[in-house]
Amino acid sequence: MKIFHLLDFRVTKMSTILHQLLDYIYKESRKRRKEQKENEFWVTDIIGCRIKAILSRKYPEVSALIGVSSRPMLGILAHKAIEYLVNVEKVINAESEKEAKLEVEVNGKKYYIVARPDILCNDADLVLDLKTALDIKGPVYSHYLQLWLYSLIFSKRKASIFYVTSLGGKWEEPVTWQKVITALIETKLVSNEEIATVFGIKDPNKLEEELSKQIPSDKIWETEEQREIWLSILKLYFSKWLQTEGPIWEWECNYCPYVNSFCLSPYKRVSQK
User: Can you give the pLDDT of all 273 residues of the chain as single tens digits?
Assistant: 454 454 454 556 667 776 777 777 778 778 888 889 999 999 999 999 999 999 999 988 887 766 555 566 677 777 788 888 888 889 899 999 999 999 999 999 999 999 999 999 999 999 999 988 777 777 799 999 999 999 999 999 999 998 887 777 777 889 999 999 999 999 999 999 999 999 999 999 999 999 999 999 999 999 999 999 999 999 999 999 999 999 999 999 988 889 888 888 888 887 654
Which ranges of 97-219 does DSSP label H, i.e. alpha helix? 141-153, 177-187, 192-199, 207-211
Beta bridge partners of 159: 127, 175
pLDDT of residue 201: 97
Which amino acid, 135? D
pLDDT at 10: 53
pLDDT of residue 4: 42
CB distance 70 to 22 below 8 Å: no
CA 108 to chain centroid? 27
pLDDT of residue 43: 98
pTM equals 0.89
Taking the C-alpha atoms of residue 149 and residue 120, their distance in angstroms, rounded to an integer, is: 13
In this predicted structure, what is the pLDDT of residue 50?
96
8 Å CB contact between 111 and 104: yes
Q: How far apart are CA 67 and CA 81, in angstroms?
A: 16
